[in-house]
Amino acid sequence: MNIAVLGAGAWGTALAIYLSARHDVALWTRNTEHLVELATLRVNQRYLPGQYLPDSIHLVSALSDVLERAELVFVVVPVSGLRVTLQQMAALDRSLPFVLGCKGFEAGSAKLPCQVVEDVYPAGIAYGVLSGPSFAREVALGLPAALTLASRDDAFSKWIASEIHTSILRVYSNHDVIGVEVGGALKNVVAIAAGISDGLAFGNNARAALITRGLAEIIRLGVALGGQRETFTGLSGIGDLILTCTGDLSRNRQVGMMLASGWPLSEILPEIGHVTEGVYTVREAHGMGQQLQIDMPVTRAVYSILYEYIPVKRAIRDMLDREPGSETD
């Protein structure tokens, strides 16, 4: 199958490498300088250093060219670039089926990626959402992983699963697009909090408690937005949350650890060099929590640190000093 991967960040590059073992893959980046670097080195030094790009992967910078031969598209751009990318696809009048590989809420609108799709394609289009516990580097190396493919179309889910499922990367289907996307977005916020906890040397017990209570508020917001509670106990919920809160490759956890060490956010983001969606997601999540009157203490603490410039130790102390309540509330 001819597959186009839009977005040559870490995850897009890793997916292109994985898919190229069975399919004809083209990797698109709008940045021509980045394209030249990829073509010259055959390594994505900026986002996935040390991982060779197979010669079979075609590198393209013109969107019309990469879509011309494609039968399926993986859209793996940051959420901030999703709407314009979909609009460009729609303008080319290529009603290709696609899979979203981005996580977060759109800044300003607080819309999930699936809601952005509905804005751009009001008449509908075949698409799904790929999410779950997966560090790009490990997928590129061919290490085992399991992901969730969410789509409201059963036939689409089965088709995509048959094309990308292997013994190395197992793909499970799910109907709950909203729940899968909420889990994928909010786990990044909790991971920042987990990184702060680790950076302050609060220990394993505190991290476990934080992950558990973070999951509770993910479920509260997710269900309020239309997600199904059981989705959050699966790969795209607790699975992705555990990985992102504990893995050393987690960029959002790194943000939290650097905040705990006294780094200002203005210096952290350039140092990491990748998009850290939790930094932007927390603004929209905090606003939705207030609007829907949902208690989200972990989200509120991270928001206060990043955008109200509350000192890290004070924000965490305020969160820990809350009056205890029922665990099931």
* Residues noted as catalytic: 187
Calculate the alpha carbon distances from 209 to 158, 193, 204, 302, 304 in Å.
37, 11, 9, 16, 20
DSSP 226: T
**What is the C-alpha separation between 149 and 151, in angstroms, rounded?**
7
b/e string for 224-249 if b means 16 or more Cβ within 10 A?
ebebeeebbebbbbbbbbbbbbbeee
Residue 129, burial from CB neighbour count under 10 angstroms (0-12, 13-18, 19+): buried
**What is the C-alpha separation between 126 and 135, in angstroms, rounded?**
26
* CA pseudo-torsion sign 150, 153, 154, 159: negative
Q: Is residue 236 within 8 Å of 186, Cβ to Cβ?
A: no
CB atoms within 10 A of CB 81: 15
